[in-house]
Amino acid sequence: MTIRYVPPVSFTSKRLILDNEKLRRANAKVTTGTAYKYGDLLTLSAANVLTHATDESTWDVICGQDVTAAEATIKATDGIEIPVYYGGVFNIEAVSLNGAVLDAAKYDAARAKATKNKIELSKV
């Protein structure tokens, strides 16, 4: 009988949505060939198309779904939209810019923009 040892595995995840009752959600179109991560800070055009925010102070909504670049191309071609959050209480430690979690030094600018967007970014 072979004994196999599996080393302990741990995962670190941070909850994004902190209050489901205040959550406000909509849908928007994606850009062809662009990957999106759940929690990304995104800008929303007048044509209802999402792009990645250039920095922590220039965003409008929070991404509500992981989408690969290949999936985005299919969705954009077929006119399929993804969920975005435009209101609610979210964990500042779980939001990201183009898949990279925000540095603590960028929290203030992101929170200031969130207040203007009627979104709350809290630290838990």
pTM of full prediction above 0.85: yes
Buried b (16+ CB within 10 A) or exposed e, 60-97: bbbbbbebeeebbbebbeeeebbebbbbbbbbbbbbbb
pLDDT of amino acid 1: 63
pLDDT of amino acid 12: 56
Strand ranges for 13-118 from DSSP E: 17-28, 41-44, 50-52, 61-63, 82-91, 96-97, 100-101
Length of the chain: 124
Q: How many CB atoms lie within 10 A of CB 19?
A: 11
Q: Average the pLDDT over 2-24 and give the result.
A: 75
Residue 12 included in any domain: no
Domain that holds residue 66: 17-122
pLDDT of amino acid 22: 86
Separation of CA 4 from chain center: 39
For residue 14, what pLDDT band results from cuts at 50, 70 and 90? Answer: confident
Residue 50 included in any domain: yes
Residue 10 included in any domain: no
For residue 9, what pLDDT band results from cuts at 50, 70 and 90? Answer: low
- Tell me the pLDDT tens digit for each residue of 77-111: 999 999 999 999 999 999 999 999 999 999 999 99
pLDDT above 80 for 2? no
Contacts of 73 (CB under 8 A, 6+ apart): 32, 33
Which CATH number belongs to the domain containing residue 24 in this structure? 2.40.300.10
Q: How many angstroms separate the most distant Cα atoms in the chain?
A: 65
- Tell me the pLDDT tens digit for each residue of 42-85: 999 999 999 999 999 999 999 999 999 999 999 999 999 999 99
Residue 68's SS3 state is coil
Residue 8 included in any domain: no
Q: How many separate domains does the chain show? A: 1
Residue 4 included in any domain: no
Half-sphere exposure of 3 (CA within 13 A, CB side): 2
